[in-house]
Amino acid sequence: MNFEQLFAENKEQSISGRYLTLESISTFLKRINTDNQLHVVGQSVLGKPIYKYLIGEGKTRIFLWSQMHGNESTTTKALLDFFNVLHNGSDLAKELLSNFTFCALPMLNPDGSNAYTRVNANDVDLNRDSQELSQPESIVLWEVFDDFKPHYCYNLHDQRTIFGVGDTSKPATMSFLAPSYNKKCEINESRLKAINLIAGINDILQQFIPNQIGRFDDSFNINCVGDAFQAIGVPTLLFEAGHYPDDYQREVTRKFVFFALVSSFIILSENDIVGNRMDDYLKIPQNSVVFYDFLYKNVKINYDGIEKITNFAAQYKEELIDDKICFNAYVSEIGDLEGKSGHYEYDANGVLYTDENDNIPEVGQKADFYLTKNIKFVNGLVKM
């Protein structure tokens, strides 16, 4: 299959970037509501509708939800792209619709999406609310799950730019997890199905982003939705959309989420998850916290007349300003930073750091400074 062509032909052009709200996808959802597939199944804390999209006539039931964390929109974009595939009339669409019934909650946390926050309007992380069910959004998720009785669950998320793949110094552009079902992190039939499926997805993605696929930590937490669903015997896959070089809008990563979704359903339709691919799954390196957005090496700093060479790092903070996500860089750490990498790295070769404050980098200050008086950095980057 030509995944690149499939994505190009089905990418939803009406949405892009990181800030995705219910308003920004509502026109699309109404457009694909061609046969009463779209239903309001509940409301958020602030009264926004939570939509369910149900399509297909197949015996294998697939349950997907995205933007449980409101500021994690990449998988939502890819999910809508996949919906376009189901509506394009192709042989692939017909095969998928005959083999599967898809039930999706494209935006579980519309309040958090609007505010661009991880939590909902009550400041609760919905992915830590699977047992208490204290929030209306959590109740909706479980009610749909109980009613739909899925054979597979897809828990769709974004991860931060700090994650790399093992010790490779490669960004974790995509990461996956077959969540544990108990504290011993044992393998049962249900979890093995998810493991085998992820191993198959990895086979496909390695052709496009070699060594940029990680495996998320599988520590068990029954308060997490994926762990809870796995614990009651439903194979669950965690998707984590991460950083691709220079892709802070996550439009390239969006494509690889799409590849992962489509390839997984092809694998399932071909019943290609038999056997035991645990070894292949474990060969996917675990995520490691090794990245900063910016890493500045061998910088000379004058501390009260004493000069020393050091390194420092800066990290973007994603700030919602006038309905736009602004990436503002702040100094995050100073020191040796051994074993760390930067998505953007600059070797100062011992030249002097100065800024408009105390002429030393301090954690929390904006990454606006000079290296010598001739090289100016604004918001982390060299100002050309």
pLDDT by 10-residue block (mean), the chain, 384 residues: 97 97 97 97 98 98 98 98 98 98 98 98 98 98 98 98 94 98 96 97 98 97 98 98 98 98 96 85 97 98 91 98 96 96 97 94 97 94 88
Spatial neighbors of 381 by CB under 8 A, at least 6 apart, are 329, 344
Buried b (16+ CB within 10 A) or exposed e, 335-351: eebeebbbbbebebeeb
Both tokens of residue 28?
A: 């699309």
Q: Beta partners for 327?
A: 318
What was the pLDDT predicted at 384? 67
What was the pLDDT predicted at 272? 65
Spatial neighbors of 31 by CB under 8 A, at least 6 apart, are none
Q: Residues 79, 82, 86, 89: what is their CA dihedral angle, to the nearest 10 degrees?
A: 150
Both tokens of residue 100?
A: 């599967």
Q: What is the pTM of this model?
A: 0.97
> Kind and range of the H or E element at 278?
helix 278-282
Set out the domains of the chain in order of their start, with CATH numbers: 3-289 (3.40.630.10), 291-382 (2.30.40.10)
What was the pLDDT predicted at 123? 98
Q: DSSP of 157-199, one letter per residue?
A: EE--TTEEETTS--B-SEEEE---SSTT----HHHHHHHHHHH
Q: Is 354 exposed, middle or buried (0-12, 13-18, 19+ CB in 10 A)?
A: middle
Q: DSSP of 255-279, one letter per residue?
A: HHHHHHHHHHHHHHHTTTT-S--HH
C-alpha to C-alpha distance for 243 and 158, rounded to whole angstroms? 9
| Residues 263/6, Cβ–Cβ less than 8 Å | no
C-alpha to C-alpha distance for 124 and 209, rounded to whole angstroms? 34
What was the pLDDT predicted at 304? 82
Residue tagged 């004058």 (tokens): 302
